[in-house]
Amino acid sequence: MSATFTKSEGWLDWYPNPTKPRFVAPAGAVDAHCHVFGPGARFPFAPERKYTPCDASKDQLFALRDHLGLTRTVIVQATCHGADNRAMLDAVHSAGGRARGVATVRPDITDAELRRLDEAGVCGVRFNFLKRLVDTSPKDDLVTIAAKIAPLGWHIVIYFEAADLAELEGFFAALPTPLVVDHMGRPDVGRPVDGPEFTRFLRFTERNDVWVKVSCPERLSISGPPALDGERDAYTDVVPFARRVVEEFPDRVLWGSDWPHPNLTGHMPDDGLLVDHIPHIAPTAELQRKLLVANPMRLYWPGEIS
């Protein structure tokens, strides 16, 4: 019998009918951060998960990709699946070369299993430092994983809150692979963009040559979505932060939708509006091409640069 799951209380499902964005993404644009959830009946959620989501299938993800005018996706293993990467791998396999994966692995993973993930389209692992999402992993375990994946040419995606960077940055700097930061290191956008917290993040990025996802305005914003139906300007308080990163590091920024937007409270974003946010944070055609095509292609499809 297949498993049945009850969504976490208050769980918001993804936006059912996203609007068509006005911004036309350049040809070959990549959504470099999104997830699949289950479906739980086929790919059960992990016993150690901190939330139980709605289902969000590969077909729904690919339909959204096409609706938004995007070409490729990078599917990041969501914490609700723990280190069971089957749903993500199934989605990557079904995308016919138009998806790559970021996995979660345990320190005892074998080299043979890592090679299998590599052949399936996985390019990296994710280290998550948000206590509401995962139990803390011992640093020794993460160091073991990093040493195992480094020979494959993979990178490590790091997810942390801005307030934790001071404690973590020495550990990050010693990791042997390229690093990719989720959601700009989750700045508190109520603080000044020139203040000490975001300056620490920018200098960390500069010193360590890291890549940054300028993603998740809907998660970081205090001002929130448009006040009126039909307005397209959303999450404006996040713009100065994202734009600063894009302008300082134009060759190391990535954009992602974060669909199906786990753990949002208050509102669920219209994914069309998230795409219309892009020209605010990357205002020129050249910056847009780097953010959406050249950079993610270099990182995730290095043999296929157009």
* Residues identified as active-site: 258
Tokens 């199934």, located at residue: 90
Task: Compose the 166-185 pattern: x for residues touching ligand 0GY by CB under 6 A, - for all others.
Answer: ----------------x---
Angle at the Cα of 225 from the Cα atoms of 221 and 226, rounded to 5 degrees: 135
Give the shortest CB-31-to-ligand 0GY separation in angstroms.
12
Task: Compose the 131-160 pattern: x for residues touching ligand 0GY by CB under 6 A, - for all others.
Answer: --x---------------------------
Count of residues touching ligand 0GY (by CB under 6 A): 9
Q: Cα(137)–Cα(139) distance, rounded to whole angstroms?
A: 6
Count of H-run helices and E-run strands, the chain: 11, 8
Contact 75, 102 (CB under 8 A): yes
Residue whose CB is less far from ligand 0GY, 146 or 184: 184
Binding status of residue 78 toward ligand 0GY by CB under 6 A: yes
Q: Cα(16)–Cα(125) distance, rounded to whole angstroms?
A: 30
Window of 59-67, 116-124, 257-265, 267-275 that interacts with ligand 0GY by CB under 6 A: 257-265
Binding status of residue 258 toward ligand 0GY by CB under 6 A: yes
Residue whose CB is less far from ligand 0GY, 79 or 295: 79
> According to CB under 6 A, which one of 57, 79, 205, 221 is a site residue for ligand 0GY?
79
> According to CB under 6 A, which one of 262, 269, 272, 296 is a site residue for ligand 0GY?
262
Determine if residue 60 is left, alpha or beta; phi over 0 gives left, psi from -120 to 50 gives alpha, anything else beta. Answer: alpha
CB count within 10 Å of CB 79 equals 25
Residue whose CB is less far from ligand 0GY, 78 or 239: 78
Binding status of residue 31 toward ligand 0GY by CB under 6 A: no
Give the shortest CB-111-to-ligand 0GY separation in angstroms.
26
* Residues with Cβ within 8 Å of residue 33, at least 6 apart in sequence: 74, 76, 182, 213, 215, 254, 255, 256, 257, 258
> According to CB under 6 A, which one of 263, 267, 268, 298 is a site residue for ligand 0GY?
263
Residue whose CB is less far from ligand 0GY, 80 or 180: 80
Window of 77-85, 137-145, 190-198, 270-278 that interacts with ligand 0GY by CB under 6 A: 77-85
Q: Cα(215)–Cα(221) distance, rounded to whole angstroms?
A: 11
Q: Cα(222)–Cα(244) distance, rounded to whole angstroms?
A: 18
Query: Which 3 state secondary structure label does DSSP give 226?
Result: coil
Interacting residues toward ligand 0GY by CB under 6 A? 35, 78-80, 133, 182, 258, 262-263
